[in-house]
Amino acid sequence: MAKATIADIAREAGVSVTTVSRFINGNFSKMRPETRQRIEQTVARLDYRPSASARRMRQQRTHVVGVIVGDISNVFSSLLFKGIYTQLQPAGYDVMLMNSNNSVDEERDEISRLLSQEVDGLIIQPNCKRFSAYSPIVSASIPLVMVDREPDDQPGDIAKVTVDNHGSCRTLAGLLAERGYENVVALSNIRSEISAQMPRLEGLRRGCDEHGMLMIPIEANGHDVAWLTQELRALTGRLAGRTALVSLMGPMLFDTLAALRELGLRFPEDVGVVSFDDWRWSQYVRQGIHLLEQDPQRMGQEAAANLLEQMNADADPYALAKQTTLSVAEIPAPSI
Amino acid sequence: MAKATIADIAREAGVSVTTVSRFINGNFSKMRPETRQRIEQTVARLDYRPSASARRMRQQRTHVVGVIVGDISNVFSSLLFKGIYTQLQPAGYDVMLMNSNNSVDEERDEISRLLSQEVDGLIIQPNCKRFSAYSPIVSASIPLVMVDREPDDQPGDIAKVTVDNHGSCRTLAGLLAERGYENVVALSNIRSEISAQMPRLEGLRRGCDEHGMLMIPIEANGHDVAWLTQELRALTGRLAGRTALVSLMGPMLFDTLAALRELGLRFPEDVGVVSFDDWRWSQYVRQGIHLLEQDPQRMGQEAAANLLEQMNADADPYALAKQTTLSVAEIPAPSI
DNA sequence: TTGTATGCGTTATCAC
DNA sequence: GTGATAACGCATACAA
């Protein structure tokens, strides 16, 4: 049988479509209980479900939010989504999830699709250096929250949720100096135009400068373990004094451990090891690895909460935009 | 400015809405190049984007697919989604993702929402023992693919993508027997009415029977590490002969390792350890842990591919439903 | 307390 | 080649 419509219910229940519409929208204030009951039964009998298509057409709002993450296979993104979802679903919003694959081109296409979908709001882990890539969103006055990364020239009235990448790495440098390290090797793997690893690199550099340590960046960007092994081999031969390896993103730690195994280097004896975002599995690797940890689920919740405020605004949503910086937790372990 | 509509373009370009619609849909066959160009410019100038709401209203199809996963914070689910997404996005489908939290109630609500959204297809990692929970989908003739788990009474014409859970565990039992183990402790953590862990348990039991090993299930369902530690302590005291612990799901391995550490048990010296789905991080834990590995991304791809076939069908979509069973890979490591 | 009629933006049918 | 117009299913202004 074809999908029942509001007209079917009206006919079967012997009332008008208006009354059925009122029923569907829980507007019982002025409705005789018996009418209400009659409609209720008919709805149940025909298994009627309001058409979201017609609804969003008629109303302003779609009750759909778009989310674009950089790489859903990275645990960061899944936890981010989980935080977003647990906020939005109870609030009556459905979520369209897109994976930009850390690609500027894919992201552009996905934004366009979501605008076509007329989403009520957008949460993006952005790939673009220039905010102009996102101006179509602002032109359409669509509530927007940026997460994790930030375009260089992002206006002050655009919401964002980030963590203290710079500060936490600067602090880490201090700790490493205290422990007697003289060299810090920063291992990054940046695939997108912008990355949270950038402020981490800067923070580390700043901290190393402050403590007279040598800071050596290794940008693995797309290279494999063999390449990394090679780089580390060349490096460690040349360095005097104790060296700490800092993995600036979760998945990078995998490659780092693989390279160390290959080189026969042990930690903390031969080198120190620190990592961002390993999601706690590394606690079982030897005696555990010293971690800098963010809370992506919390980030998602914050982002969604602010998005909801913007979406509930009567006037300019961006007036309610909030910029949130969460702290990074330090989980000590004897790997340094 | 308000969002431009097809009527705006028509007015500005001095043509009719029909012609604009033809342009939007790439129907240039009978259109003067100059008309086409005029529309093209106007569309660009007004940054016109077709309204998906109006489209889906008018047409049969929404070009939206709904996906319900059990727990998006489990890497299995993220990889599954990635596989689905990479197939559907290029095919012109947007994806609504829902997280059932392994809850029957949440799942019911989410199915209802997705039916309201009039999705063109549905991929579900199901929670319900009885297929009747999904019959509204079938009543509406909506293409459907079940993934990972399967209701007990699922009809033969409903598509599914699973892995050989039973067989791989039965084979594992054989391997353990060969290695001299006499006891197999199966560690499960089932939160939903059905789980891929169930056929794994059966396979293990079958295999243990065949090789005269003792099979002891520990159902952690929701309990914490302290509880598990207690259970293992009690157990290991009573068992004679070598014992292997088999973690039947990825996250369970965390708790298992924590308990072993607490008990001061080493592997493979004191006990053997095997796990499903650890996503390879455990290779750095001691000398690595013996794994049974599925490929969730591949599962997602298979599911989406079949869904596409069903969605492209003219008549009964279920006539094209395919049931796929993928194999489980064994990744050996000296933990047994 | 309930009903009638209009329009949301698009596509499809038919006319010119 | 192009245009006028009727639907799609619902919510609402306005009637009754």
Residue-wise DSSP of B167-191: HHHHHHHHHHHHTT--EEEEEE---
Q: Is residue B218 part of a domain?
A: yes
Measure, in angstroms, how far nucleotide C6 C1' is from residue A194 CA: 50
Mean predicted confidence (pLDDT) in B63-86: 97
- What is the percentage of chain B residues whose pLDDT exceeds 90? 90
pLDDT at position A146 is: 98
Query: Which nucleotide lies at the shortest CA–C1' distance from B57?
Result: D8
Nucleotides of C under 7 A from a protein CB: 1-5, 7-13
Q: Is residue B261 part of a domain?
A: yes
A238 CB less than 7 Å from any atom of strand C: no
pLDDT at position B285 is: 87
Token couple for B11 = 């007015």
Quick check: A245 and A187 in contact, CB under 8 A?
A: yes
Range in B2-11, B217-226, B279-288 with the lowest mean pLDDT: B279-288
Give which of A67, A126, A137 is closest to A300, Cα–Cα.
A67
Q: Is residue A67 part of a domain?
A: no
Query: In angstroms, rounded to a whole number, what is the distance separating the alpha carbons of residues B84 and B43?
Result: 32
The average confidence (pLDDT) of chain B is 95
Query: In angstroms, rounded to a whole number, what is the distance separating the alpha carbons of residues A180 and A174?
Result: 10
CA distances from B240 to B48, B181, B184, B204, B236 (A): 75, 10, 12, 19, 8
Q: Is residue B83 part of a domain?
A: no
Q: Which of B47, B78, B257 sits opposite A72 (nearest CB)?
A: B78
**How confident is the model over B299-326, as pLDDT tens digits?**
999 999 999 999 999 889 999 999 999 9
Query: In angstroms, rounded to a whole number, what is the distance separating the alpha carbons of residues A5 and B14?
Result: 37
pLDDT at position B210 is: 97
Assess B84–A contact: CB distance below 8 Å, yes or no: no
Q: Is residue B102 part of a domain?
A: no
β-partners of residue B216 are: B185
pLDDT at position A71 is: 96
Assess B75–A contact: CB distance below 8 Å, yes or no: yes
pLDDT at position B1 is: 60
pLDDT tens for the 336 residues of chain A, in order: 578 999 999 998 999 999 999 999 988 887 888 889 999 999 999 999 999 999 999 998 999 999 999 999 999 999 999 999 999 999 999 999 999 999 999 999 999 999 999 999 999 999 999 999 999 999 999 999 999 999 999 999 999 999 999 999 999 999 999 999 999 999 999 999 999 999 999 999 999 999 999 999 999 998 999 999 999 999 988 899 999 999 999 999 999 999 999 999 999 999 999 999 888 788 888 889 999 999 999 999 999 999 999 999 988 999 999 999 999 999 999 999
Which of A68, A97, A252 to mutate to test binding with chain B, by most B CBs within 10 Å of its CB?
A97
Nucleotides of D under 7 A from a protein CB: 1-5, 7-13
The total number of structural domains that make up chain A: 2
Using only the alpha carbons of chain B, give its radius of gyration: 26
Quick check: A20 and A6 in contact, CB under 8 A?
A: yes
Q: pTM, whole model, 2 decimals?
A: 0.96
Query: In angstroms, rounded to a whole number, what is the distance separating the alpha carbons of residues B78 and A103?
Result: 18
Quick check: A258 and A251 in contact, CB under 8 A?
A: no
Q: Which residue type sits at B169? A: C
Give which of B298, B227, B293 is closest to B81, Cα–Cα.
B298
Residues at the strand D interface (Cβ < 7 Å): A 3, 5-7, 17-18, 21-22, 24-25, 50-51, 53-55, 57-59; B 14-19, 22, 30-32, 35, 54, 57-58
Tell me which DSSP letter residue B160 carries: E
Measure, in angstroms, how far nucleotide D5 C1' is from residue B196 CA: 55
Measure, in angstroms, how far nucleotide D12 C1' is from residue A21 CA: 10
- The yes-or-no verdict on residue B184 having pLDDT over 90 is yes
Mean predicted confidence (pLDDT) in B21-40: 90
Strand locations in chain B (E): 64-69, 94-99, 121-124, 144-147, 159-163, 183-188, 214-219, 243-247, 272-276, 290-293, 323-326, 329-331
Q: Is residue A258 part of a domain?
A: yes
pLDDT at position B284 is: 86
End-to-end C-alpha distance for chain A, whole angstroms: 67
pLDDT at position A1 is: 58
β-partners of residue A247 are: A187, A275
Residue ranges of alpha helices (H) inside A89-210 are: 104-116, 135-139, 165-178, 197-210
pLDDT at position A3 is: 84
Q: Considering only residues 143 to 182 of chain B, which have any Cβ-Cβ distance to chain A shorter than 8 Å? A: none
β-partners of residue A215 are: A184
Q: Is residue A81 part of a domain?
A: no
Token couple for A188 = 């990054």
The upper half-sphere exposure of residue A42, i.e. CA atoms within 13 Å in the direction of its Cβ, equals 23
Range in A218-222, B9-13, B131-135, B235-239 with the lowest mean pLDDT: B235-239
Selection from A274-288, B46-60, B113-127 with the highest mean pLDDT: B113-127
Give which of A293, A322, A18, A73 is closest to A163, Cα–Cα.
A293
Q: State the CATH number of the domain containing residue A257.
A: 3.40.50.2300
CA B194 to chain A, closest CA, distance in angstroms equals: 22
Kindly determine whether residue B96 and residue A99, on different chains, have CB atoms separated by under 8 Å. no
Other C-beta atoms lying within 10 Å of the C-beta of residue B331: 15
Query: In angstroms, rounded to a whole number, what is the distance separating the alpha carbons of residues A329 and B65?
Result: 38
**How confident is the model over A102-118, as pLDDT tens digits?**
999 999 999 999 999 99
CA dihedral sign of residues B236, B239, B242, B247: negative
Other C-beta atoms lying within 10 Å of the C-beta of residue A16: 13
Tell me which DSSP letter residue A4 carries: P
Query: In angstroms, rounded to a whole number, what is the distance separating the alpha carbons of residues B40 and B19?
Result: 12
pLDDT at position A302 is: 98
CB within 8 Å of A78: residues ≥ 6 apart: A72, B72, B73, B75, B77, B78
Q: Is residue A119 part of a domain?
A: no
Q: State the CATH number of the domain containing residue A33.
A: 1.10.260.40
CA distances from B65 to A234, A271, B96, B308 (A): 50, 49, 6, 10
Residue A17's domain comprises 1-50
Strand locations in chain A (E): 64-69, 94-99, 121-124, 144-147, 159-163, 183-188, 214-219, 243-247, 272-276, 290-293, 323-326, 329-331
Task: Give the CA dihedral B168, B170, B173, B174, nearest 10 degrees.
Answer: -100
Q: For residue B324, give the 3-state DSSP assignment.
A: strand
Measure, in angstroms, how far nucleotide C8 C1' is from residue A139 CA: 21
Name B residues 15-74 whose Cβ lies under 7 Å from strand C.
17-18, 21, 24-25, 50-51, 53-55, 57-59
